[in-house]
Amino acid sequence: MQVRVCKEGDVYSLLSQILEELRAIRGLLEGRSVESMPDAPQQVEDKPTSAPSTTPAVPVYTTRQAEAYLHRYLTGRRLRIVESQDMTPENSVMRQRMHLAYFMGQHYAITEVMLEELRATLQCPRPVLVDVAGLPEQAISVLTNTGKRLYDLYMLQAYEYHRRERFMRLKVRPHPFVHNYLSGGWFELYVAQEAQKLLGGRLLLAKRNVKLEAEGGAVCEADLILVVASASGEMRLAVLECKSANALYEDEPRQVKRLNNLLNLGMQRSAIVFPDPPSPAFADCWFQQTGSQVIGREQLAQFLRGL
C-alpha cells in the first residue's frame, strides 16, 4: 500500500478510507475477529445460525475508542483540548444544578419570564416579583419548584412565595457562578442532557465548555462537542453552541465561523441552539455568517437524527 504524508485536513478522510478497507477485509476473513486489528471497533459476537447473515455487522465502539478518534481528529486539524468538562459533574450540588437546568428547559414555556427577569438583575441584584395570579396550578407548581430549588442551591439570596397574595419574591445572589448559570450556563446544561437523551447509545462521547488551542496559541471555545455513531456505523464529530438569550452578539458569528473552519464542519454537523425557534429570516442571516444551522430546542432532535 502506498504511504503518503497527510496534509492538514486530510486525516479525517484518510481514516474514513482505512475504515472502509477494514470492513472489506472483515467481510473476507470468515471466522476471524477484527478486534486484533489496530484501532478496529469492537464487534458484538453473533450467535451461530443455520445460514450466514447478509446483513453487515454494526460496529460497537467504546468510550476509549471515541476518545482516540477525537484526539486523532483534532491532531489532524492541528488543535488540542486545553480545558473541558465531563457531562456529569462529580460534585453533588453541581449535579443537582444540572438536573434543575433540565427541569427548567423542559418547562421553558412556564419558566421563561421568571428566568429573563432574574437575568436582567444579575449586574445589579434587586428583588424580582413574579405574579402567579390566574395561572393554572401546574404552572404555579413549576414556578415555585424552580424558585425553591434555585434558593436551596445557593443561587438566590431570597425566595418567598406569598400564597394568599399569589406572587413570588426572588433576589439573585451576587456570585460569579450564579451569573454564569443564569446568564446561559443552565441552557448549556439542558441542551447537553437533551442531546444525551435523544442520541442514546449513539452518543459515544460528549464534552462541555471545551477550549481548543490552535497551532500558534490562538484559543477558541465550543459549548458542546459530541462524538456520535452515524447510521452507517462511522464515528462523527458534531458541535453545538447554546444561546439562551434569543440573540447573538456582534462578535459571536465570527467566532462560530472560525470554530467551524478550524474543525472543518459544515451545517450538517454544527448548530446554534436557542430556547425558542428563530424566525426564518434570523436563521438564514446567521447561517450565512456562521455556516451553522440555527435552530430552536424543539428542532434539536431533527438535527441529531441527521448526524
Identify the three-state secondary structure at position 182: helix
Out of 177, 192, 226, pick the residue that ends a domain.
177
Give yes or no: residues 41 and 98 share one domain.
Answer: no
In a domain, 14, yes or no: yes
Q: How confident is the model at residue 8 (pLDDT cuts 50, 70, 90)?
A: very low
117 in Cβ contact with 130 (< 8 Å): yes
Out of 46, 64, 82, pick the residue that ends a domain.
46
181 in Cβ contact with 165 (< 8 Å): no
Longest Cα–Cα distance of the chain, Å, equals 80
In a domain, 270, yes or no: no
Number of compact structural domains in the chain? 2
Alpha helices in the chain (DSSP H): 10-28, 63-76, 92-106, 108-120, 137-152, 176-180, 186-199, 252-263, 280-290, 300-305
Least confident residue range of 1-10, 33-42, 194-203, 268-277: 33-42
* Percent of the chain residues past pLDDT 90, beyond the cut: 71
Give yes or no: residues 33 and 96 share one domain.
Answer: no
Give yes or no: residues 98 and 165 share one domain.
Answer: yes
Domain of 136 in residue numbering reads as 92-177
Q: How confident is the model at residue 57 (pLDDT cuts 50, 70, 90)?
A: low
Which tens digits make up the pLDDT trace of 62-106?
A: 999 999 999 999 999 999 999 999 888 878 999 999 999 999 999
Mean pLDDT over all residues of the chain? 85
Least confident residue range of 21-25, 27-31, 157-161: 27-31
Q: Per the structure block, which three cell numbers stand in for 208?
A: 462541555
User: What pLDDT shows up at residue 253?
Assistant: 87
User: What pLDDT shows up at residue 209?
Assistant: 94
Query: By CB neighbour count within 10 A (0-12 exposed, 13-18 middle, 19+ buried), where does 235 fall?
Result: buried
In a domain, 77, yes or no: no
Give yes or no: residues 40 and 102 share one domain.
Answer: no
Q: Are strands 128-131 and 167-172 parallel, antiparallel or unpaired?
A: antiparallel
pLDDT at 52 over 70: no
Least confident residue range of 13-22, 128-137, 190-199, 294-303: 13-22
Looking at per-residue pLDDT, the higher value among 225 and 11 belongs to 225
User: What pLDDT shows up at residue 287?
Assistant: 93
End-to-end Cα spacing for the chain: 31
Out of 177, 207, 241, pick the residue that ends a domain.
177
Q: How confident is the model at residue 23 (pLDDT cuts 50, 70, 90)?
A: low
CATH code at 128?
A: 3.30.70
Most confident of 43-52, 174-183, 244-253: 174-183
pLDDT at 299 over 80: yes
Which tens digits make up the pLDDT trace of 149-165?
A: 999 999 999 999 999 99
In a domain, 116, yes or no: yes
In a domain, 274, yes or no: no
Give yes or no: residues 102 and 37 share one domain.
Answer: no
In a domain, 142, yes or no: yes
User: What pLDDT shows up at residue 44?
Assistant: 41
The phi, psi pair for 65, rounded to 5°, reads -65, -35
Which tens digits make up the pLDDT trace of 121-138?
A: 999 999 999 999 999 999
In a domain, 51, yes or no: no
Looking at per-residue pLDDT, the higher value among 283 and 251 belongs to 283
Which tens digits make up the pLDDT trace of 105-121?
A: 999 999 999 999 999 99
pLDDT at 284 over 80: yes
In a domain, 289, yes or no: no
